[in-house]
Amino acid sequence: MKPDLISIRKSILQTSFKAQAGHIPSAFSIAEILYVIYKYIKSENDIFALSKGHGCLALYAVLFHFEKISKEKLNSFCEYDSSLGGHPHREKDDEFFCSAGSLGHGLPMAVGAALAKKIQSKSGKVYCLIGDGESNEGTIWESFLLAKNLNLDNIVCIIDDNRSQSRSLPVNNLQDKIASFGWDVTTVDGHNIEKLKNTLSSNKKLPHCVICNTTKGKGIKDMEQNTFAWHHGPPDKIQYDNFIEELDNA
């Protein structure tokens, strides 16, 4: 695993352990995606929306990695007066385009932002990261339909397909379903830096959806089993020490 990604995952673990809160596996599955967006893709004219807000520890850790927030701020995660909550709050930091919590709202807002850019003839793209379970929400499919009807070639929907919903209400054949709405759809290894970079930097004539095949809890074998035990919640001290050692040896 790339040293930068080990460092980011360790920050996620450390922050969760300190706060005794957070969704670690959901954050681990999107670590590479966010790393690529902030290192190679996002320009000052682009917008990024994290719709699956429960994965926010990855966003906070990546922002810290690229010196957009301080260590002190990262360490304040989930404290009473912190700007870094269990879900991003758009009024707390300029890096947060939209508040999160209830699923299914980020993509509709991203469609609105992409349309606003078109109306105002502004450059830049709008990137929105959602989860596979989130694609069960009706607002997601309404957004897919609307974006195509409005010819929004400046929007990119990224799906973290970490199979989280396979335990309850799986969404199968995502690529075919989204393509039927008129989008350009690409499926990629969500942990492969170069493939993510090449795919997300491509220009399409249609709204673009990038389905990222990921592993929930990527990097920690116990979390990669995709069990309810590790959907939410921090490690205890023994688990924390073992997980840090596992990452150090990755």
For the chain, the average pLDDT equals 94
* pLDDT above 70 (res 238): yes
Name which residue leads in pLDDT, 31 or 168: 31
pTM summary value: 0.95
Q: Which of 245, 241, 239 is nearest to 222 (CA)?
A: 239
CA distance 31 to 124: 23
Instruction: Name all contacts of 91-99 with Cβ < 8 Å and 24+ positions apart.
Output: 93/69, 95/59, 95/63, 95/68, 95/69, 96/50, 97/47, 97/48, 97/49, 97/50, 98/49, 98/50, 98/51, 99/53
Give me the domain span that covers residue 70.
Answer: 3-248
Q: What is residue 166's predicted lDDT score, i.e. its pLDDT? A: 65
> Which domain CATH number covers 222?
3.40.50.970
Residues 175-207 have pLDDT tens digits of 999 999 999 999 999 999 999 999 999 999 999
Angle at 126 between CA 163 and CA 27, to 5 degrees: 35
Residues 46-105 have pLDDT tens digits of 999 999 999 999 999 999 999 999 999 999 999 999 999 999 999 888 889 999 988 889
Residues contacting residue 157 through CB under 8 Å, at least 6 positions apart: 107, 110, 128, 130, 143, 144, 183, 207, 208, 209, 210
Residues 145-163 have pLDDT tens digits of 999 999 999 999 999 999 8
Q: What is residue 163's predicted lDDT score, i.e. its pLDDT? A: 85
Amino acid at 219: G
Angle at 45 between CA 160 and CA 31, to 5 degrees: 25
Our count of domains for the chain comes to 1
* pLDDT above 70 (res 168): no
